[in-house]
Amino acid sequence: MEAPETWRVLEFYSGIGGMRYSLMASGARAEVVEAFDINDVANDVYEHNFGHRPCQGNIQTLTASDLDKYKAHAWLLSPPCQPYTRQGLQKHSADARAFSFIKILDLMQNMSHPPQMLFVENVVGFEVSDTHDQLLKVLSSLNFDTREFILSPLQFGVPYSRPRYFCLAKREPMRFQNASVSKKLILTPMCLSQTMNNTSQDRDHQNEKELELVCKPVKDFLVQEADGGIRNETLSQDYIVPLNLIERWGNAMDIVYPESKRCCCFTKSYYRYVKGTGSLLATSENLKLVPEEKLEISSLKELDLRFFTPREVANFHSFPSSFGFPDHISLRQQYAMLGNSLSVAVVGPLLRYLFAEA
* pLDDT score, position 197: 44
Mean pLDDT in residue range 243-270: 92
CA distance 147 to 124: 15
**Confidence category of residue 87, pLDDT binned at 50, 70, 90:** low
CA distance 143 to 134: 14
Architecture of the CATH domain 218-222+230-340: Alpha-Beta Complex (3.90)
* pLDDT score, position 231: 47
CA distance 159 to 342: 15
CA distance 39 to 197: 35
Q: Which run of H or of E encompasses 137? A: helix 130-141
Mean pLDDT in residue range 335-347: 96
Q: Which run of H or of E encompasses 138? A: helix 130-141
Q: What is the mean pLDDT of the chain?
A: 87
Q: 12: which strand partners? A: 36, 77
Whether residue 291 has pLDDT greater than 60: no
pLDDT in tens, 127-160: 989 899 999 999 999 999 999 999 999 999 999 9
Higher-scoring residue by pLDDT: 211, 269: 269
Q: 121: which strand partners? A: 166
Whether residue 219 has pLDDT greater than 80: yes
Whether residue 311 has pLDDT greater than 90: yes
CA distance 53 to 46: 7
Whether residue 195 has pLDDT greater than 50: no
Higher-scoring residue by pLDDT: 289, 10: 10
Mean pLDDT in residue range 98-125: 93
Higher-scoring residue by pLDDT: 195, 114: 114
Mean pLDDT in residue range 157-176: 95
Known active-site residue 55 = no
Is the peptide bond between 79 and the residue preceding it cis, with omega within 30 degrees of 0?
A: no
CA distance 263 to 255: 8
* pLDDT score, position 196: 45
Whether residue 244 has pLDDT greater than 60: yes
CATH top-level class for 7-207+342-355? Answer: alpha beta
In percent, the amount of the chain with pLDDT more than 90 equals 66
Whether residue 22 has pLDDT greater than 50: yes
Choose the catalytic residue: 55, 81, 263, 265.
81
Whether residue 202 has pLDDT greater than 50: no
Higher-scoring residue by pLDDT: 226, 164: 164
* pLDDT score, position 258: 94
* pLDDT score, position 318: 98
* pLDDT score, position 343: 97
Whether residue 98 has pLDDT greater than 80: no
Mean pLDDT in residue range 190-209: 54
* pLDDT score, position 290: 57
* pLDDT score, position 91: 61
Q: Which run of H or of E encompasses 150? A: strand 144-151
In percent, the amount of the chain with pLDDT more than 70 equals 81
Can you list the pairs that 126-131 forms with residues at least 24 positions away whose Cβ atoms lie under 8 Å?
126/81, 126/84, 126/165, 127/165, 127/185, 129/83, 129/84, 129/90, 129/92, 129/93, 130/92, 130/93, 131/83, 131/84, 131/92, 131/93, 131/98, 131/101, 131/102
* Per-domain residue ranges of the chain: 7-207+342-355, 218-222+230-340
Mean pLDDT in residue range 258-283: 94
Distance of CA 290 to the CA centre of its chain: 30
